[in-house]
Amino acid sequence: MRSLDYLQIAYINIKQRKLRTALTILGIVIAITTIFALISIGQGLQNGVKEQFEKIGTNRLYVAAKGTSIGGFQTGLTNKDVELLEGMSEFEWVNPYLQDRVAVEYNNEIEVLPIWGTVTDNLEKRWEDVGFVVEQGRLFKSGEKYSAILGYKAATDTFGRDIHINENIIIKGQRFKVIGIFEEMGNPEDDSAIEVPIEVLQELLDKKEEVTAIELIAKETYLEEVAKKATRILERKKGEDTVDIITPDQLLQQFSTILSIVNTILGAIAGISLVVGGVGIMNSIYTSVMERKKEIGIMKAIGARNRVILILFLTEAAIIGFMGGIIGIAFGYGIGKIAQFSAELSGFKILIITANPILITGSILFAVLFGLLAGFLPAQDAMKKQIVEVLRKK
């Protein structure tokens, strides 16, 4: 028999058993949908994180107290550390930051928001290529004091009405004039934050010498060597094993490790769907073998070899797997896009779902292979049946 003949016969058999075929395909659809959606979401997170880090640039280092975790800084750095680093010729800019959460009052409403203190001189050059874009208003002027720049969400989605340029907010009893509003970044924490001059924030929080993080913009891109030198200088004054100097690649690696763990957990969940789909296909083809005993007997009686029967049943399983794979990919991609849209509505724009050709091709091949593996045992059973057995009346 030619390959086309196998396909034609398999297609006719599938068409004659529409309900059972549909239920079997449903098992594959559920499995592939789950796998495709979860992998797409995992890759989407990785794509978003990578895109964010690409904006940072390749010449930046971040200094934090030893043991600081991703997403937050702890105390341990001071203005003296900033001065030590400013004395190094390797750095074009040394940007200290002070971070906290404070109660912010506007229009007789009070909300607790993240706040960052930053230096004000040459801020446009210091923040070049970082992605901090002021959509309305301007950045701080050198020496400016009681002014604030708001994240997009802090200005538009936190209080009862939007905050506009030149309006005032109150932080710890001090009135601040809003001089700028950042463009939406897609990260809810950053979009809810408020930037003020670091000296002012140090006074308000009674942390006149404290710094929670220091950003270093190096003149050269040999970051590993520069980081080691800066570490030695700081630890000579502060003591050994007191600071961490992290490169963007190290930060990305930490995030990737976390995402890998998340993807592993998602993969385990998807594995349950695989088991369900596999059992469904196997059960369907076993049932098909039982129903088609007479057909199998006639084929053997007219000279069909065992190999022909095996290939015929495997072809049916492969077609079912292919159809389920195509439908599953469509549903999985749709679920991924819904997840992205939902995340964007929540202000989280780091999730980027794309139609990855490798993932699509791999999913189709996997669905076909999955169908073949699930259909192998029942197909083998059909192949081994004897003529007398399958033609015998019940």
- pLDDT at position 129 is 66
Give 251 or 181, the one with higher predicted confidence: 181
- pLDDT at position 57 is 62
pLDDT exceeds cutoff 90 at 198: yes
pLDDT digits (tens, 9 = 90+) for 93-137: 999 999 999 999 999 999 999 999 999 998 888 887 666 789 999
Residue 226 covered by a domain: no
Task: Please give the backbone phi and psi of residue 351, each rounded to the nearest 5 degrees, phi first.
Answer: -75, 120
Torsion over CA of 374, 380, 386 and 391, rounded to 10 degrees? 30
pLDDT exceeds cutoff 70 at 178: yes
Shared domain check, 279 and 211:
no
What is the pTM for the complete model shown? 0.65
| Domain final position from 173, 200, 220 | 220
CA 72, 58, 95, 78 torsion-angle sign: positive
Residue 12 covered by a domain: yes
pLDDT digits (tens, 9 = 90+) for 9-28: 666 777 767 777 787 788 77
- pLDDT band for position 158 (cuts 50, 70, 90): very high
Shared domain check, 167 and 94:
yes
- Rounded distance between C-alpha atoms, residue 98 and residue 116, angstroms: 6
The residue count for the chain: 394
| Domain final position from 175, 197, 220 | 220
Residues 6+ apart with CB under 8 A from 197: 117, 118, 119, 120, 140, 144, 145, 147
Of 73, 69, 61, the closest CA to residue 98 belongs to: 73
Residue 90 covered by a domain: yes
Shared domain check, 93 and 25:
no
Shared domain check, 260 and 209:
no
- pLDDT at position 366 is 82
Average pLDDT over residues 253-267: 71
Shared domain check, 67 and 49:
no
Of 59, 64, 95, the closest CA to residue 213 belongs to: 64
Average pLDDT over residues 350-359: 83
Residues 6+ apart with CB under 8 A from 227: 61, 245, 247
Of 318, 338, 331, the closest CA to residue 360 belongs to: 331
Shared domain check, 376 and 265:
yes
Residue 39 covered by a domain: yes
Average pLDDT, the chain: 81
Of 341, 310, 356, 388, the closest CA to residue 1 belongs to: 310
Give 390 or 378, the one with higher predicted confidence: 378
Residue 27 covered by a domain: yes
CA 221, 225, 231, 236 torsion-angle sign: negative
Residue 247 covered by a domain: no
- DSSP states along 100-122: EEEEEEETTEEEEEEEEEE--TT
CA angle 241, 224, 64 (to 5 degrees): 40
Residue 231 covered by a domain: no
What's 157's DSSP letter? S
| Domain final position from 202, 220, 238 | 220
Lowest pLDDT segment from 47-56, 83-92, 317-326: 47-56
pLDDT digits (tens, 9 = 90+) for 221-231: 677 888 888 88
HEC states along 217-260?
EECCCCHHHHHHHHHHHHHHHHCCCCEEEECHHHHHHHHHHHHH
Shared domain check, 381 and 275:
yes
Number of domains in the chain: 2
pLDDT digits (tens, 9 = 90+) for 230-240: 888 888 888 77
Give 383 or 334, the one with higher predicted confidence: 334
- pLDDT at position 182 is 93
Shared domain check, 68 and 166:
yes
- pLDDT at position 388 is 55
Lowest pLDDT segment from 5-9, 232-236, 286-290, 386-390: 386-390
Shared domain check, 123 and 45:
no
Shared domain check, 270 and 215:
no
- Rounded distance between C-alpha atoms, residue 112 and residue 102, angstroms: 5
- Count of Cβ atoms closer than 10 Å to residue 34 Cβ: 24
Shared domain check, 182 and 104:
yes
Shared domain check, 379 and 272:
yes
Residue 244 covered by a domain: no
% of the chain surpassing 70 pLDDT? 77
| Residues of the domain holding 119 | 59-220
Give 392 or 364, the one with higher predicted confidence: 364
- pLDDT at position 199 is 94
Torsion over CA of 122, 183, 198 and 114, rounded to 10 degrees? -170
- Rounded distance between C-alpha atoms, residue 157 and residue 385, angstroms: 70
